[in-house]
Chains A and B, each alone.
Chain A
């Protein structure tokens, strides 16, 4: 257990539905990251926050994806109008600010879109 928690651990939804995932980082970490991982591939960066500010978003990220970190603590990742191609493991990580700090990953949320 790294101290980063994600909820739910598994989500099955039908195509076209909206889904929301939650990430609770290590409390003293001010940086929070979202990644997506498909089978056989390494995690792919989606976006990251420093405190409540979203500082970077992948250009590959569809407009159907949105993330928030309203109080600089937990974060949510929402996918609207899900597609089968959204099926993946969604990973959250947190770290302290500063260069090259270790990122601590949560267990992930596995999304299956039928």
Chain B
């Protein structure tokens, strides 16, 4: 089972770019990397998913180096509303049938 390691917490200020790195040394060839965001008392929300290189959507970018042993979620110009827990997931069940969450990274954004 691929295991992910990410920082327990990060602090930032409004308007800054935040980069959260996740290590997944045992990633398998067919694994995708997915990031979810969770606010208190809510279910997780999908942010972005990628396999290699760079993926960008309207809320974030995901950078994946060639060896795919790590990935970095980049949040541009964060605001207070980005304060949440961010989970990095690497699926090994051959189809994304279940998600294996770790403890995530608690991001706190201040003024």
Contact = CB atoms under 8 A, between A and B. Distances in A.
Given A42-B101, A100-B32, A106 B49 contact: no
Interface residues of B, number: 23
- Chain A, interface residues (CB within 8 Å), range: 20 to 34
Interface stretch (A66-74, A80-88, A91-99): A91-99
B45 A45 contact: no
A44 B101 contact: yes
Contacts of A91: 43-44
B41 A98 contact: no
B103 A41 contact: yes
Given A42-B87, A42-B104, A103 B99 contact: yes
A56 B96 CA distance: 12
Nearest to B96: A100
